[in-house]
Amino acid sequence: KAGVTQTPRYLIKTRGQQVTLSCSPISGHRSVSWYQQTPGQGLQFLFEYFSETQRNKGNFPGRFSGRQFSNSRSEMNVSTLELGDSALYLCASFNPTGGEEKLFFGSGTQLSVL
């Protein structure tokens, strides 16, 4: 079974631009979560989607948004990029009916904002 796939692996943008990151969960996993990792703040929860609906949301400004498609693939979008948005963005998938409460993470998208 293929793991969680995130694209692109690296991304360089300039302030004010917007960016879209993509995540394909493990086949059969209908829950996708997004996390931001920075050296200063560590790992922080952005949001979680299940069956195309946002179920949980972390404490991030409205510039951070996401969506999930009917095939469970998810995208997150950051508009009006700021230097502080430079981070590793991690996607994780979860199978609520699988009996195991653990997240499977992708390798992440490293976003650099110049």
Partner 1 sequence: SQQGEEDPQALSIQEGENATMNCSYKTSINNLQWYRQNSGRGLVHLILIRSNEREKHSGRLRVTLDTSKKSSSLLITASRAADTASYFCATTSGGGADGLTFGKGTHLIIQP
Judged by beta carbon, residue 16 or residue 96, the one nearer partner 1 is 96
Residues that bind partner 1 (CB under 8 A): 4, 31, 33, 35, 41-45, 47-48, 50, 55-56, 58-59, 88, 90, 92, 94, 96, 100-108, 110
In whole angstroms, how far apart are CA 63 and each of 18, 20, 75, 78, 81? 9, 12, 14, 5, 8
d(CA 52, CA 61): 21
CB nearer to partner 1: give 47 or 64.
Answer: 47
The DSSP 8-state label assigned to residue 98 in this structure reads S
Q: Tell me the closest approach of the beta carbon of residue 16 to partner 1, in angstroms.
A: 26
The residue (of 9 and 15) whose beta carbon lies closer to partner 1 is 9
